[in-house]
């Protein structure tokens, strides 16, 4: 229930970060200003005893996130791909969240499989292992099909995971509404809409039938991609809480030492990860939106194999063209064109100064153009980008959240493989190829042809549609609902709650 009782959950979030020592570690790793560190300490210290203790054997940040639950773990997984933002040490600690969380008993997993599939595990599988990987939502077992002897991966949702996520999301909604009421400047970030988007993504991830469908579509789209592999689902052994798919044998993409020992060229792999993501996003409009190291392996023949398709992103053709033109403008250092595309797409309000925006974009692009990743401070870059969005009144675009988030994650993965990667040079052939095929006179003629086809289908119905639109336009508008005002709260509890909300508000950026 989305009520004031969620205030307690936010207080507990901040208290847990303080009690486990994670607050200090995270703020130091992200080079937070001294005033912010002091404020967090003052607000957190009185409430530390209310926090969850967590597993003392884990490092502070990992300990706090695992104690708080699956929604917080998801955020930690994103940070684990950005050592340039949180530091190498903290990023390495957070990789624990990708696939090494405490598993639930194998006997429980077998029981769930039998209930879901209405089949005996011992009859279907000749061998069924203990968990080989465990993450926030599910765990994976290695098994062999009794009928064919084929090795497969069996993914089983954690018991009660739907309820746990619902509890966290309800608290997030409460925090978003509180922030919007108390801090009007944050409304351009659309916190409530962002949480609604996050809810839709997560709820879809909790239905493994949808993940099976995503895996099947992704495998079909990418079957011609050189150096990339996607295991396909076994539909007859998959359901809402269980998914069976082909087994991927290989070296985890996050284990650099093992990759080097196996003779893989990490520079090639880093470039391939970035180019594959761009190809899928631009060419297909359907991409893997959870591409951290825990969801990819390198096979013996050097192919990158992806799995875990619970979070997939889609972008329409128009958005793909906008995204490609923005990237292409940066690659060509044509900041005026990048600014124009932002205005044309409505990403920047029309009343802002385009020339000033182009200058701001130049300040973003010039310091990093041509540089390898080791010389770029992503933390400072993200900070400046946030300043730019605030200065020019840019609102959060919920339809682009997955694309933007995945780009940040993928670029972080590529950096971890090759610290000297030049992202612009790697992206250039993919973006230029898309621009050649989809932007220009030939593409415009193709678009006109498609429009004519659609209009032809609706031709017989156009008179009725126009008449209905005119009737609707003549009806009086309903009075707007008066704005709701936030009621008063105790300042001490409010400060603690805001501190808890601040732990996850970084997901909005």
- Look up residue 127 and give its two tokens: 């061998």
d(CA 482, CA 469): 28
On the question of pLDDT at 84 being above 70, the answer is: no
d(CA 427, CA 325): 13
Going by pLDDT thresholds of 50, 70 and 90, the confidence category of residue 210 is very high
On the question of pLDDT at 217 being above 80, the answer is: yes
3-state secondary structure 53-94: CCCCCCCHHHHHHHHHCHHHHHHHHHHCCCHHHHCHHHHHHH
Close Cβ partners of 62 (under 8 Å, ≥ 6 residues apart): 76, 93, 94, 96, 97
Quickly tell me which residue has 């309000």 as its tokens.
349
Handedness of CA 342, 348, 349, 351 (dihedral sign): negative
Least confident of 275-284, 367-376, 422-431: 367-376
Neighbours of 24 (CB within 10 A): 18
On the question of pLDDT at 503 being above 80, the answer is: no
**DSSP count for the chain of H helices, then E strands:** 24, 10
Among candidate residues 63, 141, 68, 71, the one with its CA nearest the CA of residue 107: 141
Catalytically active residues are 290
* pLDDT at site 371: 64
* pLDDT at site 143: 96
* pLDDT at site 505: 44
Going by pLDDT thresholds of 50, 70 and 90, the confidence category of residue 372 is low
Helix, strand or coil, per DSSP, at residue 296: strand
d(CA 399, CA 378): 23
d(CA 245, CA 127): 15
Query: How does the average pLDDT of the chain come out, rounded?
Result: 81
Among candidate residues 76, 39, 41, 78, the one with its CA nearest the CA of residue 59: 76
Quickly tell me which residue has 């070296």 as its tokens.
251
On the question of pLDDT at 507 being above 50, the answer is: no
What residue segments make up the domains of the chain, in order of their start? Answer: 6-101, 102-135+137-247, 249-466
Among candidate residues 132, 206, 196, 110, the one with its CA nearest the CA of residue 164: 206
- Give the residue-averaged pLDDT of 70-95: 77
Indicate the pTM of the whole model: 0.75
Among candidate residues 245, 155, 154, the one with its CA nearest the CA of residue 206: 155
d(CA 322, CA 494): 41
* pLDDT at site 55: 87
- Look up residue 161 and give its two tokens: 């995971």
Least confident of 8-12, 21-25, 170-174, 447-451: 447-451
- Look up residue 54 and give its two tokens: 């967590």
d(CA 242, CA 362): 49
d(CA 255, CA 253): 6
Contact 114, 202 (CB under 8 A): no
Rg (CA), the chain: 24
Give rounded-to-5 percent helix, strand, coil for the chain.
Answer: 65, 10, 30
Q: Across 61-70, 71-80, 92-101, 238-247, which has the greatest mean pLDDT?
A: 238-247
* pLDDT at site 453: 63
* pLDDT at site 476: 61
């Amino acid at each position: 229930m989305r009520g004031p009782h969620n205030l307690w959950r936010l207080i507990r979030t901040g208290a847990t970060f303080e009690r486990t020592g994670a607050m200090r570690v995270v703020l130091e790793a992200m080079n937070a200003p001294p005033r912010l560190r002091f404020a967090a300490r003052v607000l957190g210290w009185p409430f530390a005893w209310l926090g969850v203790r967590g597993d003392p054997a884990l490092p502070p940040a990992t300990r706090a996130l695992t104690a708080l639950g699956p929604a917080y773990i998801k955020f930690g997984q994103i940070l684990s791909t950005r050592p340039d933002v949180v530091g190498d040490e903290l990023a390495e600690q957070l990789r624990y969240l990708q696939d090494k969380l405490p598993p639930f008993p194998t006997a429980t997993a077998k029981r769930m499989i039998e209930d879901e599939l209405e089949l005996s595990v011992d009859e279907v599988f000749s061998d069924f292992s203990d968990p080989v990987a465990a993450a926030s939502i599910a765990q994976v077992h290695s098994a062999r099909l009794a009928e064919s002897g084929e090795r497969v991966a069996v993914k089983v949702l954690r018991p009660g995971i739907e309820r746990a996520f619902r509890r966290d999301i309800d608290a997030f909604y409460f925090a978003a509404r509180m922030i919007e009421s108390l801090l009007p400047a944050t409304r351009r970030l659309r916190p409530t809409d962002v949480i609604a988007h996050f809810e839709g993504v997560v709820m879809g991830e909790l239905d493994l039938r949808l993940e099976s469908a995503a895996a099947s579509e992704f495998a079909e789209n990418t079957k011609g991609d050189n150096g990339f592999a996607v295991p396909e689902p076994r539909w007859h052994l998959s359901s809402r809480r269980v998914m069976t798919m082909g087994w991927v044998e290989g070296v985890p993409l996050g284990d650099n030492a093992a990759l080097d020992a196996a003779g893989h060229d990490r520079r090639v792999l880093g470039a391939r990860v970035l180019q594959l993501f761009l190809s899928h996003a631009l060419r297909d409009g359907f991409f893997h939106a959870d591409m951290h190291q825990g969801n990819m392996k390198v096979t013996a023949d050097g192919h990158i194999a992806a799995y875990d398709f619970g979070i997939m992103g889609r972008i329409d053709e128009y958005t793909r063209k906008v995204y490609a033109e923005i990237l292409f403008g940066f690659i060509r250092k044509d900041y005026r064109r990048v600014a124009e595309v932002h205005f044309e797409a409505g990403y920047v309000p029309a009343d802002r100064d385009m020339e000033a925006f182009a200058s701001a974009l130049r300040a973003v692009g010039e310091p990093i153009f041509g540089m390898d990743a080791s010389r770029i401070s992503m933390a400072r870059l993200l900070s400046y980008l946030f300043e730019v969005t605030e200065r020019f009144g840019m609102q959060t675009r919920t339809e682009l959240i997955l694309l933007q988030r995945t780009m940040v994650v993928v670029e972080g993965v590529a950096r971890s493989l090759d610290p000297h990667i030049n992202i612009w040079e790697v992206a250039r052939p993919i973006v230029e190829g898309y621009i050649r095929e989809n932007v220009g006179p030939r593409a415009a003629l193709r678009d006109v042809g498609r429009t004519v086809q659609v209009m032809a289908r609706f031709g017989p119905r156009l008179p009725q549609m126009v008449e209905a639109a005119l009737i609707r336009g003549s009806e009086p508008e309903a009075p707007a609902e008066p704005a709701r005002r936030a009621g008063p709260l105790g300042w001490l509890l409010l400060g603690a709650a805001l501190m808890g909300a601040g732990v996850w508000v970084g997901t909005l950026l």
